[in-house]
């Protein structure tokens, strides 16, 4: 933001979406009419939900999951983009990010239905071999259609929210807003700066269940950040808690020392998916892949009574230990 616009006014818009709320903070001239923009923002996230929600039986994703094998289905451009991106990240992460886990998500009680099995039966279900989405789906992006060649239930929870944030950003861009911070829950995207050139600041939470406390603050500009962790969503079964992120290799909830992973990327869709993939890979392979790919990522590792933060900046490793 230039000094000529330093006297611009701060605006804030928000609304419900994806079981949470979206927020849009931005700077514009005093008296900026927000009604049209508010409608654009609401329509942007509603469109994502209509296409990608597993909770809506009428969504495009639900129709795709219910479709028989080998039947071509025309899908919206946005959904095709998200699925294509997810398949690419799945390949690049060695399968750590996987869409074909919808039945497992449902089975463990993280989906719209009710869990009916106990952990032993769920573990047995998880051990069954499943066709990965990269094999099960045949895509024709130019024709905006795809088909399933294997029975598969897709789940987009690890990427759709990030894409929703990107859609909020596009709505602001289309309205001529150049300095903003948008987000859905902990997934955020920033453009430009605050007055006098200050970067946008994003709070990172301590990985504690049931409470929300700030662990640190990160400054971002013209970038997105997303966090995946084991402390926000979980289920209690027979006195044991299970985190909502599933390991595609075992079909079971994650069981590693990573409490959270935050990723900074050019889009929130990429940051969201990569945060999930690196969380699945664990405290050894996650940082290793982040270094190999030249990523910006922060790993919070449970280390006894402490949290150990491993930071990767531009593929370069640095680490420190913080006590609780």
In a domain, 113, yes or no: yes
In a domain, 108, yes or no: yes
In a domain, 317, yes or no: no
Which tens digit of pLDDT belongs to each residue from 175-215? 999 999 999 988 999 999 998 888 999 988 877 666 676 77
In a domain, 33, yes or no: no
| Mean pLDDT across the chain | 88
Q: What is the DSSP string of 206-217?
A: ---TT---EEEE
Distance CA 100, CA 153 (A): 6
Asked if residue 226 has pLDDT above 80, the reply is yes
Distance CA 209, CA 240 (A): 14
In a domain, 132, yes or no: yes
In a domain, 175, yes or no: no
Distance CA 76, CA 143 (A): 10
State how many domains the chain has: 1
Look at residue 2 in the predicted model and tell me its pLDDT. Answer: 46
CATH number at 87 reads 1.10.3980.10
Give the tokens for residue 195.
Answer: 């007055």
Q: CA 171: distance to chain centroid?
A: 19
Q: Which range of residues forms the domain containing residue 112?
A: 67-148
Q: Are 299 and 292 in contact (CB under 8 A)?
A: no
Helix, strand, coil shares of the chain, percent, nearest 5, are 35, 30, 35
Q: Specify the higher pLDDT residue, 50 or 243.
A: 50
Indicate the pLDDT class of residue 302, thresholds 50, 70 and 90.
Answer: confident
Indicate the pLDDT class of residue 139, thresholds 50, 70 and 90.
Answer: very high
In a domain, 109, yes or no: yes
In a domain, 134, yes or no: yes
Distance CA 187, CA 113 (A): 25
């Amino acid at each position: 933001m230039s000094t000529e616009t330093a006297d611009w006014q701060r605006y804030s818009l928000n609304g419900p979406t994806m079981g949470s709320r979206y927020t849009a903070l931005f700077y514009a001239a005093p008296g900026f009419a927000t009604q049209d923009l508010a409608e654009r923002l609401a329509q942007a996230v509603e469109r994502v939900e209509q296409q990608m929600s597993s909770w809506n039986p009428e969504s495009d994703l639900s129709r795709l999951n219910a479709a028989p094998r080998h039947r071509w289905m025309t899908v919206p451009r946005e959904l095709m983009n998200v699925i294509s991106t997810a398949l690419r990240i799945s390949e690049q992460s060695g399968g750590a990010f996987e869409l074909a886990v919808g039945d497992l998500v449902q089975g463990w009680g993280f989906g719209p239905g009710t869990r009916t099995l106990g952990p032993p039966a769920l573990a047995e279900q998880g051990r069954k071999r499943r066709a990965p989405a990269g094999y099960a789906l045949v895509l024709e992006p130019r024709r905006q259609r795809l088909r399933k060649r294997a029975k598969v239930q897709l789940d987009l929870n690890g990427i759709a929210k990030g894409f929703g944030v990107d859609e909020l950003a596009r709505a602001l861009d289309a309205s001529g807003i150049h300095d903003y911070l948008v987000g859905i829950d902990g997934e955020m995207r920033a453009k430009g700066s605050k007055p006098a050139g200050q970067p946008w600041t994003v709070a990172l939470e301590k990985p504690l269940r049931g409470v929300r406390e700030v662990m640190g603050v990160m400054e971002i500009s013209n970038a997105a950040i997303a966090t995946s962790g084991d402390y926000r969503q979980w289920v209690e079964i027979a006195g044991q808690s299970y985190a909502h992120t599933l390991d595609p290799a075992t079909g079971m909830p994650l069981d590693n020392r990573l409490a959270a992973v935050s990723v900074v990327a050019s889009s929130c869709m990429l940051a969201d998916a990569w945060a999930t993939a690196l969380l699945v890979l664990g405290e050894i392979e996650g940082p290793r892949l982040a270094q190999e790919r030249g990523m910006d990522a922060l790993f919070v590792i449970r280390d006894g009574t402490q949290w150990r933060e491993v930071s990767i900046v531009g593929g370069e490793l640095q680490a420190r230990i913080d006590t609780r």
